[in-house]
Amino acid sequence: MNSVLEYGYVSLNKKNEELCGDKVEMIPAADGGATLVLADGMGSGVKANILSTLTSKILCTMAAANVPLEECIDTIAGSLPVCKQRGVAYSTFSLLSVTPGGSAYLAEFDNPPAILLHGGKYTPLERAERVYSGKKLYLSRFAFERGDVLLVMSDGVVHAGVGETLNFGWDVKEIREFAEIQYDPALSARTMASIMANACYELYGHRPGDDTTVLAVKFRAPLSVNMMIGPPSSPESDGLVVQEFMAHDGKKVVCGGTSSQVVARELKTQVTTSFDYIDKDVPPIGYINGIDLTCEGVLTLKKLLTYADKYVSVSDPDIKMFKGKDGASLLANLLLIEASEVNLFVGRGVNLAHEGLGIDNKTKLDSVVKLINILKSLNKKVEIKYY
């Protein structure tokens, strides 16, 4: 079974700044590979944001088109606006290109050295020094193996705690050791990035003294999650829909009370329901033999979307992890963290139980569309069928 590439990042703005001086640009390839750039503009605020945005956009676009690195750097040097005070145009960057098979090329210019975790342990990269257009770069070639995580950082990470909790910032060796301790093969790339960024946020005393970004790239096992939401518009289709749903490989989720009854009936079993209200806003989950998660529909989806908004936010310093046992938390963990591919089976049947509650099919379908957009923004493969 092939591995898949997963990536995510978190950025913290320097205190009192509305814009971040760091910028991450990502271009996924149609074949499953990707080109990623983390750029850090000189200074902070608007100027730094412009410098890093231009650098990341130009470099990522050209590198993804297989333009030689030297030509990319020449283009950046000729494109960046010059700072009037310092008389230079300056942005550090880390460029990573990964093929579907895991072959990786990393070019680093003045950013802290990336950290590769192999088997959860720090593994040094061989870094060859090269000079392009007067800039000293470090180039590395390596192969991702399943479970490997690469952490790419701006210098706000190593400056974390200066003058606050630490005298001289967060030492690179200490950052590596912290990453090793926090590593868990079940964590998503975005969760790992948020753990590192959150640690910086704490070291800064919640007032970052510098723009701080952590980009995590992970090579992981694929997992398909299949979710049935709502009953088919025609009851005569129940059997065929459930048969197609169950025929798909991967984990199975049934979302909605009527859907649960349909699936249980077609599988010749029953739905048993928990009476534990773990979260007062989320109805209890149910259980069906052969189904990994059975949950209520509209209210659970609404809570899921609230969780998802925080999960995809690149500026939220909270750790992106779902430890709750309520239906929405369990669903969020399956779809946002565990899944690499999501197959949605969406029924257009009217749920009579919703009459008089202000809940209609449009509410459900709008939630489904929002969920699809979020999953695609996380670079997950999404297939949807309406019935």
Separation between Cα atoms, residue 371 and residue 230, nearest integer Å? 15
Mean per-residue pLDDT for 63-73? 94
Most confident of 54-63, 85-94, 349-358: 54-63
- What pLDDT score does 77 carry? 80
- What pLDDT score does 43 carry? 87
Separation between Cα atoms, residue 313 and residue 320, nearest integer Å? 9
What's this model's pTM, rounded to 2 decimal places?
0.92
Read off the amino acid at residue 177: E
Q: How confident is the model at residue 110 (pLDDT cuts 50, 70, 90)?
A: very high
- What pLDDT score does 263 carry? 97
**160-194 per-position pLDDT tens digit:** 987 665 656 798 999 999 999 999 999 999 999 99
**294-331 per-position pLDDT tens digit:** 999 999 999 999 999 999 999 999 999 999 999 999 99
Do residues 364 and 324 lie in contact, with contact meaning Cβ atoms separated by under 8 Å? no
Q: What are the residues whose beta carbons fall under 8 Å from the beta carbon of 148, sequence distance 6 or more?
A: 102, 116, 117, 118, 218, 219
**3-22 per-position pLDDT tens digit:** 999 999 999 999 999 999 99
Mean per-residue pLDDT for 224-237? 94
High-pLDDT (> 90) share of the chain, %? 81
- What pLDDT score does 354 carry? 54
Q: Which range is least confidently modeled, 57-61, 89-93, 334-338? A: 89-93
- What pLDDT score does 358 carry? 54
Tokens of 261: 């009854």
Mean per-residue pLDDT for 275-297? 91
The per-residue pLDDT of the chain, averaged, comes to 92
Separation between Cα atoms, residue 124 and residue 113, nearest integer Å? 10
Q: How many CB atoms lie within 10 A of CB 50?
A: 18
- What pLDDT score does 192 carry? 98
| CA-based end-to-end distance of the chain | 31
